[in-house]
Amino acid sequence: MKISVFGLGYVGTVSAGCLASSGHTVWGVDVNADKVASINSGAAPIVEPDISEFIAKAQKQGLLKATVSSAEGIQNTDVSFICVGTPSQANGSLDLTHMKRVCEDIGLALRDKKTPHTVVFRSTTLPGTTEDVAIPILEKHSGKTVGNGLFVCYNPEFLREGTSVKDYYHPPKIVIGERRAGEGDVVEEIYAGITAPTIRTSIRAAEMVKYSDNAFHALKVTFANEIGNICKRLDIDSHAVMDIFCQDTKLNLSKVYLKPGFAFGGSCLPKDLRALSYQAKRTDVEVPVLNAILQSNAVHIKGVIQRIVGLGKKRVGFLGMTFKPDTDDLRESPLVEVIETLLGKGFQVKIYDKNVATSRLIGANKRFIEEHIPHLSSLLVDQAADLVDAAQVV
């Protein structure tokens, strides 16, 4: 396939070299004449294991060329990968200057092109950037509309500097964001020789996946460091602790707990987080991430309450009130907090939970509910149908 790669930084150079080494005819496009000259002389403009050999071989075989002309890159190819930088500005927002300029240049180059062309964005951009910023610029300057001779996809890269070539050929996944079914077929065809799960999704979801991945990677590093700092202060081998932690692939390193939903609660997680934060404070260890977990959970609960209140319906029903299914444990259940707050605001609440009966509550469980909802028995109904009949919102 004939492919142009716009932006010859780390992602662009590695992408161009690997695409050409896979047999594609590649044109690298960059405004920096030195980078272009480097590619055309068979040398990589970056330092990265193996990429110099890939560039040299591809250039010698005539599979890789570079130019400063966007028009030349577009006219000689059918697919364009956009790999320009999107650096942070002082306020944390993305600087889209390079992307906007590339979209203008590509649009102008496409104006007189008669054959279909697919533009694939690899640059990391916030959800909505491709559809709300890039596509309008492309359409304006090309005179074309997406889906009619012009096709746009989003294909996030998962390359790590230092292992980029290896990561290109052995990615954890291939994600292709498309506006309409079938528009990403050309991208999937390009990666046909690579063994990895291929996921087709919306452009916005594909954009968000990259941020979700990077945020989680950063969170993992910070979590491990905070646990390590606590261990160090307590004279515990932090590597031994985390080695044991990582051996748990049922709960710790798995899909469990990674589905968006309601807040956590129960007799363990809140209590243990408070104890860990207390221990860190007592030993003068700063753990801002660990300290923020309960705060974030509280914000989530507050958001649910606000949504219910915002509906303007005074009769609210709850199908379940424990912190998780198949238990009668009400201790620190986030639903108890929601119910208690709504009652305080004058809402009429009914609850159906097959596992909860005030006559069977004992010990700490009984004391907790007597403190928060002492008249619970008057709120419980015997059948789910009774709840539906009584409530305006369930």
Tally of domains in the chain: 2
Same domain, 30 and 141: yes
Is 213 inside a domain boundary? no
Distance from C-alpha of 230 to C-alpha of 275, rounded to nearest angstrom: 12
Non-local CB neighbours of 243 within 8 Å, separated by 6+ positions = none
Q: How far, in Å, CA of 154 to CA of 208, rounded?
A: 11
> Tokens standing for 65?
């060329």
CA-angle at 264, arms to 259 and 266, nearest 5°: 140
Per-residue pLDDT of the chain (394 residues; tens, 9 = 90+): 999 999 999 999 999 999 999 999 999 999 999 999 999 999 999 999 999 999 999 999 999 999 999 999 999 999 999 999 999 999 999 999 999 999 999 999 999 999 999 999 999 999 999 999 999 999 999 999 999 999 999 999 999 999 999 999 999 999 999 999 999 999 999 999 899 999 999 999 999 999 999 999 999 999 999 999 999 999 999 999 999 999 999 999 999 999 999 999 998 999 999 999 999 999 999 999 999 999 999 999 999 999 999 999 999 999 999 888 888 888 889 999 999 999 999 999 999 988 888 778 888 888 888 888 888 888 988 899 988 888 999 8
Strands in the chain per DSSP E: 2-6, 25-29, 64-67, 79-82, 117-121, 145-146, 149-154, 174-178, 198-201, 315-319, 348-352
> Among 202, 222, 241, which residue terminates a domain?
202
Question: Which residues pair with residue 122 across a beta bridge?
Answer: none
25 and 136, same domain (yes or no): yes
Residue 362 pLDDT: 86
pLDDT of residue 187: 98
pLDDT of residue 324: 86
In a domain, 142, yes or no: yes
Is 246 a residue of the active site?
no
Last residue in a domain, options 202, 221, 249:
202
| Residue 123 confidence (pLDDT) | 96
Asked if residue 53 belongs to a domain, the reply is: yes
Same domain, 30 and 163: yes
Q: How far apart are CA 221 and CA 242, in angstroms?
A: 12
Residue 347, sorted as left (phi over 0), alpha (psi -120 to 50) or beta, turns out to be beta
Domain-embedded: residue 343: yes
| Residue 228 lies inside a defined structural domain of this protein | no
Are 29 and 168 in the same domain? yes
Q: What pLDDT sits at residue 241?
A: 98
Kindly state whether residues 196 and 306 are assigned to the same domain: no
Instruction: Let me know if residue 121 belongs to a domain.
Output: yes
- Please tell me the distance from the alpha carbon of residue 282 to that of residue 272, in angstroms, as a whole number: 15
Q: What is the CATH number of the domain that holds 41?
A: 3.40.50.720
Decide if 151 is inside a domain: yes
Contact 366, 333 (CB under 8 A): no
pLDDT at 368: 87
237 lies in some domain:
no
Q: What pLDDT is recorded for position 244? A: 98
Q: How would you label 281-320 residue by residue, b for 16+ Cβ within 10 Å and e otherwise?
A: eeeebebeebbebbeebeeebeebbeebeeeeeeebbbee
- What pLDDT, on the 0 to 100 scale, is given for residue 382? 87
Domain with 123 in it: 2-202
Of the candidates 18, 103, 231, 268, the residue annotated as catalytic is 268
Angle at 269 between CA 232 and CA 358, to 5 degrees: 155
pTM higher than 0.95: no
The residue among 379, 365, 267 whose CA lies nearest residue 324 is 267
